[in-house]
Chains A and B, each alone.
Chain A
């Protein structure tokens, strides 16, 4: 069987439950050319190298192409302008230096210790509130009941979305997450649906940003909207919208999946669940091991700006590159017994949050949210069981996580 089909198989719904054996076969060729000309990079060393390689671009999104409406003014005047705006104001995850650096620095400047620590405390409070609501339940869906609502609320509070508007973000978040699925974005129908959501949220954000510029509060959006201090330039509306949407997209489903993948690993390794309950201080290393063992972001795409010789092949200029982070995390050249879930392994340089310039901005927040969720679940769920294993998975292969993780429980202990 050719390598070309291996990655296709790994992405196939049929292998969603356990793509890792296919990754192992992909690693036999560190960098393999697929039939469509894409290069899949599967070993830890090669991925790490390309994450830091200045000849590797993150500008991989296809040009914007809004669906035509049939109205000539809209199609021939408005559409090209809006498409052009979209193309020149991509979120920074899809941009290169120097623009990437400017935008990211502005965000980091607002991603203050005070805000993150406040949201950390808030996460603990939110998790307990959510669990309190289910006190008498005999079942609990980790996804719908906890992992899903938590991050959206946290991101909305970070950005400064008014509480009354939060519910609509819950719906938008899921739709927008498809932007991180290259296969979905290659699909014209899915893309137009995505861009419709994008327009809706853009319109909303435009209004909100206007409000923040007029009456800034102590939140990230206000900070970005009125910046211009300490050498951080003020962001224009378009970049600000793209950035806010990015925070929502990148910070939501990934965190849902982190919490859910972690809980699944704990239920499959019940000793670890008990150990976490007895010693909540184990949570940080457990979370890092989930980021290695079953990471929410399985791969990211890049593009070669020039011919790049690596792993015995030359990736030609212009080729699309898939950095298979989840495969690098199971590389036996770096991790002993890589397929074993072991929070006590030491010196773990996992790729779960990426690496290099684009290292996950929200990683500290994700860790705190996951810690709040997992420690509370371990402490409060009474006799959690997994009636159906494997659970159903969400579509999409770039982001990986169960659609539902329904547990049978004997109730929820008070906090």
Chain B
């Protein structure tokens, strides 16, 4: 086992679980953890839920450390560059750190509003980090007359739900046909949309914000839509997805873009020629890797469980305690919004069929199974998580789709169209 210097870039869930896994595997060398934010690694999922609701303080979600780390921390210092020849990284303050093994877990950041000047207006928020959550929490606590959420993905939906929990008027704008359409398809996205509508969210689909206008002092007061209409609002949440923190890899020779840094099946990063660098692995949101379950398609997953599992996998690999097997964890995520809990396994992308395998959307509790080319590729539960493990196995084993009927509460299964927006609609 390697006992030299392991540097983890990214004081994140993936970075922390990686550092723990290295120690647990017996790594006794020097361990340094570098983080751009001044905080010890913290948990993000509560930020868009309990933190906005005010029941949990923004600073309270520090992650438990489950193994003695004996680490040197460099917090509040972003990494600025990587020299793979000299095996060093440079930090923002000018410090240079030499590594023998490097774990890249720099994560992602919210995609900003495309107009930089408008993006900088006071009252325009994004939500990813602890500080973002603290700022948005204060803004909501000041009870704005209306909140505008731009984007109907999971963060957008969770923020809209949190606003309604606080009894704040909220408008959610989405260019697509419904919420979560890209992830769940229109069929199930509409089920979620109905929930938000019933809870009083003003939903506007097929609608696009063109610009934000300020009051002359740099505070947003109004959104102008592409169709010319306007909406008065002093509190905007831009929830347009994430871009990966990869800029610091410029000049490193690695293959990367804003969608992540490329890795091989083991987890080692790849250079521009597709050759692995066996001193460096990547994990979490920033890592784009070929997933064996999806025919080696390159994916970069923004999932909590994935960050933890891949962080550990990559660290074990770096300290010479890898299993020798490709990372093949089945993707999984959850979201809770407005009292509804959605949990998912697998990836729905490319699904050509959908069945309600259990329960009934009318009751709000059901389990949906997605298929592609006759195989199960994903399962999504709406308040029905105890059945999910059975379907997770079907996804993991690529069981035939649709499955033969016979579930306890179902007769025959009806094939539905998931309804993913076409490429043109995105």
Interface residues of A, Cβ cutoff 8 Å to B = 48-49, 52-57, 96-98, 101, 305-307, 317, 356-357, 359
A134 vs B410: C-alpha distance when bound (angstroms): 56
Select from chain A the residue with minimum beta-carbon distance to B405: A306
Contact check, B358 vs A54: say whether CB atoms are below 8 A apart.
Answer: yes
Interface pick from B189-197, B269-277, B382-390? B382-390
Judged by a CB distance under 8 angstroms, whether B409 is at the interface is: yes
Query: A52 touching B408 by the CB < 8 A rule?
Result: no
Most chain A beta carbons < 10 A, residue from B357, B365, B387, B407: B407
Q: Could you tell me if B390 and A53 are in contact, using CB atoms closer than 8 angstroms?
A: yes
What's the nearest-Cβ distance from chain B to residue A354, in Å?
11
> With an 8 A cutoff between CB atoms, is B120 at the interface?
no
- Whether the pair A305, B406 counts as a contact (CB closer than 8 A) is yes
CB distance from B396 to the nearest CB of A (A): 11
A52 touches B387 (CB 8 A): yes
Classify the secondary structure of A's interface with B.
Answer: loop
**B393 in contact (CB, < 8 A):** yes
Which of A49, A101, A305 touches B407 (beta carbons < 8 Å)? A305
Q: Does chain A have a CB within 8 A of B86?
A: no
Contacts of B410 in A (CB 8 A): 54
Known: A97-B358, A97-B359. Is A54-B407 also a contact (CB below 8 A)?
Answer: yes
Of all chain A residues, the one with the shortest Cβ separation from B410 is A54
Q: Chain A residues near B386: list those with CB within 8 A.
A: 52, 356-357, 359
Q: Report the separation of the CA atoms of residues A317 and B363 in the bound assembly, to the nearest whole angstrom.
A: 29
What residues of B have a CB within 8 angstroms of the CB of A357 in the complex? 386-387
Residue of B404, B405, B409, B410 with most partner-chain A CB within 10 A: B409
| Whole-angstrom distance between the Cβ of A365 and the nearest chain B Cβ | 20
The chain B residue with its CB closest to the CB of A55 is B406
Once the chains bind, are A55 and B407 in contact (CB under 8 Å)?
yes
Measured in the bound complex, the distance between the Cα atoms of B386 and A97 in whole Å is 12
In angstroms, Cα B403 to Cα A305, docked, is 14
- Which residues on the A side are within 8 Å of B365 (C-beta)? 101
B residues near A96, Cβ cutoff 8 Å: 408-409
Residue on B nearest A310 in the bound complex, by CB: B393
A346 to chain B, nearest CB (A): 10
Q: State the CA gap A203–B216 with chains docked (Å).
A: 79
Could you tell me how many residues of chain B have their Cβ less than 8 Å away from some Cβ of chain A? Answer: 20
Question: With A54-B358, A97-B359 known to touch, is A49 a contact of B408 (CB < 8 Å)?
Answer: no
> Once the chains bind, are B389 and A54 in contact (CB under 8 Å)?
no
| Cross-chain contact B393 with A305 (CB below 8 angstroms) | no
Considering residues A52, A101, A306, A359, which has the most beta carbons from chain B within 10 angstroms of its beta carbon?
Answer: A52
**Which of these, A49, A101, A306, contacts B406 with CB under 8 Å?**
A306
How far apart are A285's CB and chain B's nearest CB, in angstroms?
A: 17
- CB pair A305–B390 under 8 Å, yes or no, is no
Q: Which residues of B contact A54 (CB under 8 A)?
A: 357-358, 367, 387, 390, 407-410
Chain B stretch 98-121: residues in CB contact (< 8 A) with chain A = none
27 contacts between A and B (CB under 8 A): A49-B389, A49-B393, A52-B390, A53-B390, A54-B408, A54-B409, A55-B406, A55-B407, A55-B408, A56-B408, A57-B408, A96-B408, A96-B409, A97-B358, A97-B359, A97-B409, A98-B359, A98-B360, A98-B363, A101-B365, A305-B407, A305-B408, A306-B404, A306-B406, A307-B404, A317-B406, A356-B386
User: Is A98 a contact partner of B409 (Cβ separation < 8 A)?
Assistant: yes
State A17–B359 Cα separation when bound (angstroms).
43
Report the bound CA distance from A201 to B409 in whole Å: 31
Residue of A nearest to B363 (CB): A98
List B contacts of A305 (CB < 8 A).
406-408
What 12 additional pairs, Cβ within 8 angstroms, besides A52-B387, A317-B406?
A49-B393, A52-B388, A54-B367, A54-B408, A55-B406, A56-B408, A96-B408, A96-B409, A97-B358, A307-B404, A356-B387, A359-B386
The distance in angstroms between the C-alpha atoms of A52 and B386, with both chains bound, is 7
Q: How far is the CA of A134 from the CA of B211 in the complex (A)?
A: 81
From A49, A57, A307, B390 is in contact (CB under 8 Å) with A49
Q: Is the CB of A97 within 8 A of B389?
A: no
Nearest neighbor of B358 in chain A, beta-carbon distance: A54
Residue of A nearest to B387 (CB): A54
Residues of B within 8 A of A52 (CB): 386-390
A49: chain B residues at CB < 8 Å are 389-390, 393
CB-CB under 8 A from B389, the residues of chain A are 48-49, 52
Enumerate chain B residues within 8 angstroms of A55, measured Cβ to Cβ: 406-408
A59 to chain B, nearest CB (A): 8
Distance, CA A283 to CA B273, complexed state (A):
59
Give chain A residues whose Cβ lies under 8 Å from the Cβ of B363. Answer: 98
Looking at the assembled complex, report how far the CB atom of B308 sits from the nearest CB atom of chain A, in whole angstroms.
Answer: 15
Q: Please indicate which of the listed interface residues B363, B407, B408 has the most CB atoms of chain A within 10 Å of its own CB.
A: B408
Residue of B nearest to A53 (CB): B390
Residues from chain A with Cβ under 8 Å of B406 in the complex:
55, 305-306, 317
The 0/1 profile, CB within 8 Å of A marked 1, for residues 357-385 of chain B is 11110010101000000000000000000
Which A residues are in CB contact (< 8 Å) with B387? 52, 54, 356-357
**Which of A57, A97, A357 has the most chain B CB atoms closer than 10 A to its own CB?**
A97
CA of A305 to CA of B404 in the docked complex: distance in angstroms? 11
Could you say which of B365, B393, B406 has the most chain A C-beta atoms within 10 Å of its C-beta?
Answer: B406
- Which residue from chain B places its CB closest to the CB of A57 in the assembled complex? B408
In angstroms, Cα B404 to Cα A306, docked, is 9
Contacts A49-B389, A49-B393, A54-B387; A97 near B405 (Cβ below 8 A): no
Measured in the bound complex, the distance between the Cα atoms of B404 and A194 in whole Å is 39
